[in-house]
Amino acid sequence: MLAGGAALAFGAGLPRPARADNGVTDTAIRIGQSAVFSGPAKDFGVDYRAGIKLYFDRVNKAGGVNGRKIELVTYDDAYDPAKTAVNTAKLIDEDKVFALTGYVATGNLAAAMPLAEKAGVPMFAPLVGTTSFRAKTNRYLFHVRAGYDLELRKIISHLSTIGIQSIAVVYQDSAFGKSNLATCEELAADYKVKVVKTFPLAIAAEDAKPVVTGLADAKPGAVLMIMAGRMGEVVMHGQHRAAAAGAARAHRGRLPARPRRVRREDRQLHRAGGLHRRARDGRGPAPRGQGAHARQFHRRAREHRQHALRRLPHRIQREEPQRLDLRGPGDVHP
């Protein structure tokens, strides 16, 4: 899409002639990007840059835009608006880019737009849907994605449709999270959905235990998360750990008791039983003392197995006797 926009710019009404000081030469078009390529939210910037470069490579292999190849100049702002402003100034003043693209996050775009407007450099396709950037027309800002207000409206309207009347909101503690929290609260009021609790979470947070505890106390019908990067994983892992700990507490005291120690005579009987089974199957000589000792073994073994059967569920209790061999040496085989 950016390539197409650049192609249109070289039409009859091109306001800036093709020269090196505006990022356009006879052989190239220079585009600038400042985004997050390091830190907890780096996936957004890395993936977005990869997608942009993939399309630019395709356009360049097809001959470029009116014979000009597209060059992408990128700088890492580490999700810091102050660094975004520095990078944007460098792209405009030193790299002389024709346009800016692929900016990530509300605060970062807010830091870059005054510089872009002052220099007359268009900002194309930022990965931002904040409502404040769409409330009025900006001739240098071009959106290609839906606004956050539309996304939140769809989410909350669906929750209302399926009968959920209360929600809790976990939001990123930044300009992005706070602005969309306000939008979320307005939309929830429109759909008669109550926001019972809101929880801020730092983007670099590695533990969401306070949030998870608060969610458990609030007992909302649904949880809406407004966040970027891997913050969602942090919250979900905290929820899973809390659920596992709760299940363990619920079953405490009802777990099976530790098995009792096996008495010496029981071990002897068990060994004698093994010898009798080997002799019966022809795999070894008959053990000594086949009389009273053997009968004592089989009697006690039968009692132990029957006691175990009584503790099994009914379904297993019906099936287990078919598998157990409770016969002694003198029993008749069918």
Which of 129, 130, 220 minimizes the C-alpha distance to 170?
Answer: 220
User: How far is residue 334's CA from residue 332's CA, in Å, rounded to a whole number?
Assistant: 6
Count other Cβ atoms within 10 Å, centred on residue 81.
Answer: 18
Nearest to 100 by CA among 137, 82, 127: 127
Distance CA 332, CA 83 (A): 90
| β-bridge partners, 127 | 104
CA separation for the pair 101, 122 (Å, rounded):
8
The pair of structure tokens assigned to 189 is 């009021």
pLDDT in the model for residue 15: 45
Q: What is the pLDDT of residue 272?
A: 59
Interatomic CA distance for residues 272 and 286, integer angstroms: 10
Q: What single DSSP character describes residue 311?
A: T
Over residues 40-78, the pLDDT tens digits come to 888 889 999 999 999 999 999 999 999 999 999 999 999
* Largest CA-CA distance found in the chain, in angstroms, rounded: 113
163's enclosing H/E stretch is none
- Give the Cα separation of 146 and 96 in Å (integer): 30
Query: Is 148-245 in CATH node 3.40.50.10490?
Result: no
The whole model's pTM is what? 0.61
- Give me the tens of pLDDT residue by residue for the chain, a chain 334 residues long: 444 444 434 333 344 444 456 899 999 999 999 999 998 888 889 999 999 999 999 999 999 999 999 999 999 999 999 999 999 999 999 999 999 999 998 899 999 999 999 999 999 999 998 888 888 889 999 999 989 999 999 999 999 999 999 999 999 998 889 989 999 999 999 999 999 999 999 888 888 888 999 999 999 999 999 987 778 888 888 888 877 777 666 666 555 555 555 556 556 555 655 655 655 555 555 555 555 556 666 677 677 666 666 665 554 555 545 544 444 455 444 4
Q: 3-state DSSP call for residue 69?
A: strand
pLDDT tens digit sequence for 89-110:
999 999 999 999 999 988 999 9
Same fold, 2-142 and 148-245: yes
SS3 per-residue string spanning 82-99: HHHHHHHHHHHHCCCCCE
Distance between CA 88 and CA 111 in Å, rounded? 9
Q: Which residues pair with 104 in a beta bridge?
A: 127
What pLDDT is attached to residue 235?
87
Domain residue limits, the chain: 2-142, 148-245, 289-323
CATH dotted code for 2-142: 3.40.50.2300
Q: Please return the burial class of 285, using the count of CB atoms within 10 Å of its CB with bins 0-12, 13-18 and 19+.
A: exposed
Alpha helices in 219-263, H assignment, sequence order:
231-251
166 DSSP β-pair partners: 194
